[in-house]
Amino acid sequence: MRERQAEFDRRGVRIISVTFESETRIREYHEQGRLPFTTLRDPRRAGYKRFGIERQSARKIYSPGTIWYYIKRFLQGEMPSAAHGDLYQLGGDVLLDSDGSALWVYQSQNPADRPSVDDVLREIDQHA
C-alpha cells in the first residue's frame, strides 16, 4: 500500500494500521520503514473481534498454501522477517466511513491471504 499511497490520498482515504504488538515492536517497525502509516495499538484485540478477525489453528496457519506462498517469496529474493507476537492471529482489512461504521471487511483466511491494493481501491470507489 505504501507504494501506492498517492492513490489513497487522491481518494481522501487515511490508512491506519492496527496491531496488538508491544509499543517497542511498533517503534521498531516504524524505524525500519516497514510500517509507514499511523499505528493504533489494540492489545485486547477489541477491533479484531468487532470485525470477526479471529485467531486460527496451527493447521490453517501452517497450511501447504501458506508455506508455498513464503517459498515463492523467498525464491523471488524477498526474505520474510522473523515472526513475533501471536502467530495464530490473522489480519484483515477494514474500510470505515467517517462515523466509524464498517463499509467493507476482509478477513484473512491464512497469513498469506490479503486483498490486493487494486481490490481495496475498488472497494473504496464502490463506497464513495
Each residue's pLDDT tens digit, 79-96: 766 666 788 888 899 999
pLDDT at 83: 61
**Cα-based distances in Å from 56 to 9, 39, 82, 90, 108:** 33, 23, 19, 7, 10
Expressed as residue numbers, the domain containing 69 is: 2-126
CA distance 27 to 19: 12
Domain CATH number, residue 77: 3.40.30
With beta carbons less than 8 A apart as the criterion, state whether 112 and 65 touch. Answer: yes
CA distance 26 to 20: 9
Whether pTM > 0.85 for this model: the answer is: no
Q: What is the pLDDT of residues 5-58, one digit of tens each?
A: 999 999 999 999 999 989 998 898 888 887 778 899 999 999 999 999 988 877
Total number of domains in the chain = 1
Q: What is the pLDDT of residues 102-125, one digit of tens each?
A: 999 999 988 888 899 999 999 999
Q: In this structure, what C-alpha cell is assigned to residue 64?
A: 501447504
pLDDT at 72: 86
Read off φ and ψ for residue 75, nearest 5 degrees. -65, -25
